[in-house]
Amino acid sequence: MTKKKYTIKDIAQLAGVSKGTVDRVLHNRGKVSKTSLERVEKVLKETEYCPNPMARNLKKNMEYRVCVLFPDYNLDPYWTPAHKGIEVALSEFRPFGITVEEYLYDPMNKCSFAKKSEEVLKTRPDALVMAPLFHSESIVVVRTCKELMIRLALFNNYIDEFDTENFIGQDLYQTGQVGGGLIDKLTQNGAGIAVVHINEEWHMVQKELGFKDYFRKKGIKPERIITWNFDSSDCQIFKKEVNYFIENNPSVKAIFVTNSKAFLLADVLAELNREIRIVGYDLLEQNVKHLQNGRIDFLLHQNPQRQAYLSVRYLTEHFLYGKRIPSSRMLPIDIITSENSVFYF
């Protein structure tokens, strides 16, 4: 038996509200009372209402531009999966009149981010997806989007100061907690532990906080945990600094690296012939190589491809279907070992 196709008028009658109220709920715009919102959402769920996106776009002859501002994947391979996720979204939604454009910035250069963000905002896109690495500069972008009424979605990193429309990523604090649990299982009581930031970025602090809180809750003395920052821009200086750190902290038996650069540390430790347990992030080829040879014990998978894809998809489905944009979507924290890493490629 064919299901009845409900119209906005039908939904309004069933919910006991006006068609205008239903329209505001579907398009996430304007003010709707809590009671009316609950009534409409209940009816939408019960009737499995879904507008015809093709008919809607043909009728309105609308095209939408979604721009994605994120780090250049040619400069940092961590972002290559994000690029792939954007490509998947583009191929999926292009037939519906959706254009997706990439604006790439140097992840080590604030001026590059500022320049690219200014460039994309001047084009007045219908929506902007952004992976914010530079905190102060990103806040400027968020404010500008609000002023220009450009829909904004964030992925990978969250900006606490603003209630952004949409965030796709992981709970960074919780990933730090997971990292703490793994390091705890790898070390004996009394062993020194280090939190290492390589090319420190502001969001890494949340990971460090979660990591340290894990041990604090277990009654571990704070002095057991050392925090250290490295800059990998100069390979030789980086090696010297790692060597200095190891020589001056002989009690350290395990290191938690707060980003995708764990392989850099593993490379140097291999040269120094030092056996130190490592937990890091992300399925970069170099990280997986060290995971399989035992130089890295665990990797936490942040799934940048899924993050980028969902960020574009949610905005696109809002334009096409009138779907409400979820305020956040927290992805699971996958623990990758040498044994299960093959299933992620």
- Residue 337, in any domain of the structure: no
Comparing CA positions, the residue from 82, 48, 94 lying closest to residue 305 is 82
> Which tens digits make up the pLDDT trace of 235-262?
999 999 999 999 999 999 999 999 999 9
Of 170, 131, 116, 124, the closest CA to residue 151 belongs to 124
Q: Are residues 308 and 220 in the same domain?
A: no
CB of 229 within 8 A of CB of 200?
yes
Instruction: Please indicate, yes or no, whether residues 80 and 132 belong to a single structural domain of this protein.
Output: yes
Q: Is there a single domain that holds both residue 140 and residue 118?
A: yes
Calculate mean pLDDT across residues 67-93: 96
Is residue 323 in a domain? yes
Q: Which of 2-11, 174-183, 334-343 has the lowest mean pLDDT?
A: 2-11
Q: Are 208 and 198 in contact (CB under 8 A)?
A: no
Task: Say yes or no: 201 and 164 in one domain.
Answer: no
Q: Are residues 149 and 86 in the same domain?
A: yes
The candidate with the shortest Cα–Cα distance to 38, out of 51, 58, 21, is 21
Same domain for 206 and 288, yes or no, is yes
- Which of 41-50, 75-84, 227-236, 273-282 is least confident? 41-50
Report the pLDDT value the prediction gives residue 332, as an integer from 0 to 100: 95
Most confidently predicted of 31-35, 69-73, 90-94, 155-159? 69-73
191 and 274 both lie in a single domain = yes
Question: Residue 32's closest CA among 45, 51, 46, 19?
Answer: 19
Distance between CA atoms of residues 71 and 104, nearest Å: 5
Tokens 């334009």 found at: 319
Domain-embedded: residue 339: no
* Cβ-contact 315, 278 below 8 angstroms: no
Within this chain, do residues 215 and 285 fall inside the same structural domain, yes or no?
Answer: yes
For the segment 53-59, the average pLDDT, to the nearest whole number, is 51
Instruction: Assign residue 123 the CATH number of its domain.
Output: 3.40.50.2300
Closest CA to 229 of 253, 194, 203: 194
Is 231 domain-assigned? yes
The reported pLDDT for the residue numbered 29 is: 65
Q: Are strands 298-301 and 334-336 parallel, antiparallel or unpaired?
A: antiparallel
Q: What is the mean pLDDT of residues 2-27?
A: 81
Say if 342 falls within a structural domain: no
Q: Dihedrals φ, ψ of 326, to 5°?
A: -65, 140
User: Cβ neighbours of residue 10 under 8 Å, at least 6 residues apart?
Assistant: 47
- Which pLDDT belongs to residue 55? 53
Q: Do 108 and 233 contact (CB within 8 A), yes or no?
A: yes
Domain, as residue range, for 281: 172-301
Average pLDDT over residues 94-109: 93
Q: Is residue 163 very low, low, confident or very high in pLDDT (cuts 50, 70, 90)?
A: low
Alpha-carbon distance of 241 to 93, in angstroms, equals: 48
In a domain, 344, yes or no: no
Instruction: Compute the distance between CA of residue 103 and CA of residue 86 in angstroms, rounded to an integer.
Output: 12
At residue 63, the pLDDT reads 85
Looking at the domain assignment, is residue 108 inside a domain? Answer: yes
Asked whether residue 345 is domain-assigned, the answer is no
> pLDDT confidence of 58, banded at 50, 70, 90?
very low
- Taking the CB of residue 132, how many other CB atoms lie within 10 A of it? 24
- With 90 as the cut, is the pLDDT of residue 223 above it? no
Look at residue 202 in the predicted model and tell me its pLDDT.
78
Percent of the chain past pLDDT 90, that is, above it, reads 69
State whether 65 and 154 are in the same domain. Answer: yes
Counted domains in the chain:
3
| Same domain membership, residue 191 and residue 290 | yes
Averaged pLDDT for residues 126-140: 94
What pLDDT does 1 receive?
A: 39
Is the pLDDT confidence value at 59 over 50?
no
Q: Do the Cβ atoms of 178 and 300 come closer than 8 Å?
A: yes
Q: Does 181 lie in the same domain as 143?
A: no
Quick: pLDDT tens for 181-212: 999 999 988 899 999 999 988 788 999 999 99
328, amino acid identity: S
In whole angstroms, give the CA distance from residue 306 to residue 116: 23
Written as one letter, the residue type at 232 is: S
Rounded to 10 degrees, the C-alpha dihedral 231/235/180/194 comes to -80
- The answer to whether the CB of 274 falls within 8 A of the CB of 252 is no
Residues 207 and 260 in one domain: yes
